[in-house]
Structure formats: C-alpha cells, structure tokens
Amino acid sequence: MSEIELVDIQAGYGRAAPVLRGLSVAVPAGTIVCLVGPNGAGKSTVLKVASGLLAPRTGAIRVGGVDMTGQGPQRMLANGVAHVLQGHSVFPEMTVGENVLLGAYTLKDKARVAARTEFVRGLFPVVADRWGTLAGLLSGGQQKQVEFARSLMVDPKVVLLDEPSMGLDPKATSTVFEQVVRMRDAGTAVLLVEQNARRALETADIGCVLDLGRVHISGPAAELIADPQLGELYLGGRPAEPPVKPKL
C-alpha cells in the first residue's frame, strides 16, 4: 500500500496557468521516491500539494489509502506527512533545541518526545553538539540538519524533502543522503526532490522524471540512471522531439 498517493493532480498559483497538469505519483511504504526534472517543471509544487500547503484544482490525495483531498497542512501532519521546505526555515532567534522541540508541538506524551529527541540527536550529531546555540548562528548546511531533525520529531509515515542537498558541502551531502536511507530503513517513506539528480537516483528506489507538470518517465531508480532518454530529457532540459522516421 502507498503511504501517500497523488492522483491526476491539476494545481497552480492564483489565476496563473496550472503548474501540475494531470500528475500522478505514489510513494509505497518503505521506499524512497525521487522527483527530478528541469527548473520550473513543478517539483516543489508536487510537495506543496502533498503536504496540504497548496490545494489542488482537481485530482485526489490519499494518505494510507484514505482520501485527504483538500485537507490543510495541520491535518496532513497529524496524519503523518511532514514537509521540509526548500531553503531555510529555522527560527534564527531560537536555539537549536527549541527549534527541534517545536517539531514535537503536536505530541502530548512527554516520554515519546524524550525518545524522539534522543533519536534525532543520535541521527544528526550537529544537532546534539549545538543544542543550546541560537540556530541563526549555524551555517546554512547545519541549519538544514536542524530542519530534518525537527521534521522527524513526529515520527512521520512519509517525509517530503525539497532539495535537501542544496547548499551543503560534499561531506554533509553524503551524510544527508545516508540519513535519507536510514530514515527509510527505520520505516519512514520519503518523497525527495533533487537537482543533484544522479546522486538522488543512486539513493532512491523509484525515480520519476517531471517535465511540464507531468511525470514523463518513472521506474526503478537504477534503470533511470542507465536510461539514455533521461540524459536527453533532463540533462538536455527540454522533452525530446519524437524521432523522425527515416525515409525508405
């Protein structure tokens, strides 16, 4: 069964033309699904629809098989969908610890909060080391890890990651991709958006190539890496023209 499923989604901003035009994607339990595609293909928009930040114009969203179309972000989070946004979203004037504990705002059970805190401190050493430091004093890459830790406090079923490697140095990038695998192995499904396509596909189980608001190709990530069409479409930036039939 899929942890989250988007079916035939049309979505966009204001009165502008739709960004997503009939997009469908499913994230099965225990898998990492990765979306790659050109700038402006609609990758971040998919995640906003999945977490309830943006209501789709048409189409359906199911979480654990239950229809959740039109629910706001607080309901989606309560049902196990956590979203780590692109860019930086820590509260700079609060400590690392306060930022992380905010992720547990909806949890009432103190023992559970303590257990989750220990879990994320173990997963992200920088979070444990800088627990009492103001988050704004951390570097961009370190702040990203605080955001990951915060999203995992609710023990989500699926976590939506928007370009987690952006701004991270090579070492931190490797760490982040390792964490993504560890999250999956610990039972959290992951929907990942990345420009670092090769690295992301090496990490993911399933890959989807987006272009012009639709899934253009999808399949086992390992097969996509080997697919010459991916290079043409994605590394080339525009969908390939249909092949011209040779004149006989």
Partner 1 sequence: MHSLETVELTKAFGGNLVLDKTSVSFQHGKVNALIGPNGSGKTTFFNCVTGLIRPDSGRVSYAGADITRRTPHAIARAGLGRTFQLCRVFPRMTVLDNVLAATRPRGANLLRGARGRAETDRARGWLTKLGIEHLAGIEARNLSWGQQKLLELAGVLMSEPETVLLDEPAGGVNPALLDRIGGLVRDLNAEGRTFVIVEHNMDLVMSISDHIVVFDRGRPIAEGPPSMIRTDERVLGAYLGV
**Does residue 205 interact with partner 1 by CB under 8 A?**
no
DSSP of 175-203? HHHHHHHHHHHTT-EEEEE-S-HHHHHHH
Phi (first) and psi of residue 230, to 5 degrees:
-60, -45
Distance CA 163, CA 36 (A): 10
The residues facing 23 across adjacent strands are 9
CB of 66 to partner 1, least distance (A): 31
Cα dist. 6→81, 125, 143 in Å? Answer: 13, 34, 30
Looking at the Cβ atoms of 31 and 142, the one nearer to partner 1 is 142
**Does residue 164 interact with partner 1 by CB under 8 A?**
no
Of 3-11, 20-28, 86-94, 202-210, the segment contacting partner 1 by CB under 8 A is 86-94
Burial 227-243 (b: 16+ CB within 10 A, else e): beebeebbeeeebeeee
By CB under 8 A, name the one of 1, 93, 111, 171 that touches partner 1: 171
Chain centroid, CA 26 distance in Å: 13
By CB under 8 A, name the one of 8, 13, 72, 220 that touches partner 1: 13
Ranges within 122-141 binding partner 1 (CB under 8 A): 133-134, 137-141
Q: Confirm if 120 and 97 have CB atoms less than 8 A apart.
A: no
Distance CA 98, CA 94 (A): 6
Looking at the Cβ atoms of 125 and 236, the one nearer to partner 1 is 236
User: What binding mask, one character per residue, do residues 226-245 give for partner 1 by CB under 8 A, x or -?
Assistant: --------xxxx--------
By CB under 8 A, name the one of 174, 182, 187, 220 that touches partner 1: 174
**Does residue 15 interact with partner 1 by CB under 8 A?**
no
Residues that bind partner 1 (CB under 8 A): 13, 16, 37-41, 43-44, 86-88, 133-134, 137-142, 163, 166-174, 195-198, 234-237
